[in-house]
Amino acid sequence: MSGIAGIYNFDGRPVDPALLQGMTDAIVQRGPDGIRHWIDGPVGLGHCMLHTTPESVYEKQPRTDESGNLCLTMDGRVDNREELISALKSAGARLRDDTDAELVLKAYECWGTECPARIIGDFALVIWDKRQRHLFCARDILGIKPFYYYTDGRKFLWASDLRPLWKDATVPREPNEGMVAEYLAEAITSREETLYRGILRLTPANYLVVRQDSVAKKCYWDIDPGKEVRHRTDEEYAEHFSALFKEAVRCRLRSQGPVGAELSGGLDSSSVVGMAQLLYREGQATDRGFATFSLVYPGLSCDEGPYIDDAVEMWDVASNKVRHEAPPPSVYLGDARRYYDFPDYPNGVMSNSISARARERGFRVLLTGAGGDEWLTGSLYHYADFLRRLKLRALMRQLRCDRQFDRNAAKVPPIIFPRGALLKVGFFPLLPSVARRAVKWVLRRDYAAPPWIGAEFARRAQLAERLRNGRPHKKFPTFAQEDIYRSLINGWACQGNELGTRSESRFGLEKRHPLLDRRVIEFSFALPEEQRWLGDQPKFILRNAMKGIVPERIRRRSTKADFSHVFPEGLKALGGEDFFDSLAIASLGWIDGKRTSGLYREMMRGYEQSNGGLIPHTWTLWMICGIEIWFKAVFQCADGLPPKTFPAPRSEMQLV
């Protein structure tokens, strides 16, 4: 986890060193190990360093090639190092050292704009190509590493956070109502737009070529819908997956210090911990003091302490349990003021105490189990595919045409089903409950603005069109694959990844996600659905592959902790109904204040009566709350908190 920022003046004006310094100062928390700058006339690159790998300790960025014609700055990590080094040497490249920056720079020398497709890892990078007179910018396939930019035809600015861009006083700060509407509708579809008009993010799995007269974007990677993984037995599937997963964990254990892991007690995080321990015991990685970090909730139904203990005891690893405490409202207000962006979610903020503990103990790298739900859980559309295989396409088309939706009947958002559907399908009540939910998902074709959003605002923001355009345009063999593909391309994933890395940067951490490895994603997507979901057992292939690696009670568990209570608790701490009765964004017409207050009352009634069950409207109300906090902090300066300051590391400026 490092940080990058830079400037390219199209008109040839020399870069102002003070402006570049100001941009890196705004992301100083990302660079506790030093800040360096490189300026060559109209181009300036800045880099904030956090050492998290053995090679990064002696890596210097921005980094130039031998001729001085190329200069790289990168926030990132190369996970397929051996493969990439072999390919570079075969292509005739001469490596000066084995740093990740050198590998990426040589990859660009060898393969030009095609180089990102050869790199497996998390990265956001910029290369100034003096011969070609252009900037080359690229981002990893999931957008784990952030990359924001602004251009007005005279200059191109970029940074790892939004705030550095406004160090240039000419950059406008205007709300992007279209994106605001997506947030408020709880349907983030765009992976390119931000909450600000004219400020964009580089879409994951894309690169930019920036010239004086153009900014051209191109996708360098996508899922191949025709790829299939087929084996004869469940054991062969498990062995294939296990080999890929093992490599995904192994390459993420590369660190200059001890590696830790978030351990929730669930199957995904326990699998990562177990595989890491197996690699250590086989001598395939060096254990510098592995430890786990866990949140516990004594006395609550969501407490997973017993499962955590099972995993810790099986592998005899050091365990750090942190008791959950509700964060104060200042955390959310501080996020908006510090980053000029949407605040983190309560279920994200609750892990801050883990990050703080890990940093206190000297850890800079934490492994997570993120990704298991997206690729391996399986899809409710599995049952829709079953119906399709029964040649009931005509019935499905008929049901899709029934547009009479009963919003109030949908007790489990976001599932909405047409009134009368149950009467039309005589066998419907006989299907498993999960199958019934699957059909409801298939039937959802409602792109109208939600009732809590102002009608005029929704029209002005073209919200219905945005929701409609958010559907995948690729054709897939099954509904299930289309559903999983949504997890890859929707705006929620991109925004969530950015919030996660932003939070990590506050604590000087880098979180690594083996189940988000590109090789694991491609393999998982190509699986037959029965390997993801067999009967009533999700993550079937992961369970098979983890025999003997995770405790049996965890491997066989079918429950999952529910942390939805943190949302009403957070909203109540922010002022509860009084907060929603005086929304600034209601006065703008963005939302209907009365409806929103009503949603809050319904949520609190559900919370008080839930007994661990479903609580209605939690995500809806948090999206409204987050936009309110962001708007006040940025446009009304009403947060009442100064931005958090960080000690400035040593800074170097190199002028060419």
Tens of pLDDT, residue by residue over 145-172, are 999 999 999 999 999 999 999 999 999 9
Res 440: pLDDT: 46
Q: How confident is the model at residue 384 (pLDDT cuts 50, 70, 90)?
A: low
Question: d(Cα 40, Cα 145) in Å, to the nearest integer?
Answer: 26
Mean confidence (pLDDT) of the chain:
88
Please write down the HEC assignment for all residues of 391-449.
CCHHHHHHHHHCCCECHHHCCCCCCCCECCHHHHCCCHHHCCHHHHHHHHHHHCCCCCC
Task: State the average pLDDT over residues 8-14.
Answer: 97
Q: Could you give phi then psi for residue 450, rounded to 5 degrees? A: -60, 155
Q: State the DSSP string of 559-628.
A: -----TTHHHHHHHHTTTHHHHHT-HHHHTTSB-HHHHHHHHHHHHHHHHH-TTS--TTHHHHHHHHHHH
Instruction: Evaluate whether 376 touches 527 at the Cβ level (below 8 Å).
Output: no
CA-to-CA distance for 414 and 410, rounded, in angstroms?
8
User: pLDDT value at position 380?
Assistant: 63
The pLDDT of residue 536: 72
* Per-residue pLDDT at 409 exceeds 80: no
- Residue 206 · residue 219 · CB < 8 Å: yes
Pairwise pLDDT comparison (432 vs 619), residue with the higher score: 619
The first and second tokens of residue 145, run together, are 């590493």
What pLDDT, on the 0 to 100 scale, is given for residue 80?
98
Q: Which residue has the higher pLDDT, 408 or 197?
A: 197
- Structure-block tokens of residue 286: 């060096």
Instruction: Please measure the distance between the N-terminal and C-terminal CA atoms of the chain and give it in whole angstroms.
Output: 27
* pTM of the predicted model as reported, rounded to 2 decimal places: 0.90
Q: What is residue 78's predicted lDDT score, i.e. its pLDDT? A: 98
Burial class (CB in 10 A: 0-12, 13-18, 19+), 397: exposed
168's tokens? 């240039």
pLDDT in tens, 72-102: 999 999 999 999 999 999 999 999 999 999 9
Asked if 248 and 287 touch (Cβ cutoff 8 Å), the reply is: no
Element (H, E) at 262: strand 259-262
Whether pLDDT at 427 is above 60:
no
Domains annotated on the chain, with CATH: 3-221 (3.60.20.10), 234-376+491-555 (3.40.50.620), 566-636 (no CATH)
pLDDT at 485 over 70: yes
- The radius of gyration of the chain from alpha carbons, rounded to an integer in Å, stands at 25
**Rounded CA gap, 323 and 228, in Å?**
44
pLDDT at position 647: 55
Q: Would the pLDDT of 446 be above 70?
A: no
pLDDT of residue 436: 45
| pLDDT tens sequence across 286-308 | 999 999 999 999 988 889 999 99
Query: What backbone torsions phi and psi does residue 597 show, to the nearest 5 degrees?
Result: -60, -35
What is the structure's pLDDT at 377? Answer: 86
| Cross-strand pairs, 4 | 47
3 state DSSP class of 70: strand
Residue 654 has pLDDT above 90, yes or no: no
Amino acid at 483: D
Taking CA atoms, 470 is separated from 224, 382, 463, 467, 497, in Å, by 19, 21, 11, 5, 19
Please write the tens of the pLDDT for every residue from 169-218.
999 999 999 999 999 999 999 999 999 999 999 999 999 999 999 999 99
Percent of the chain past pLDDT 90, that is, above it, reads 77
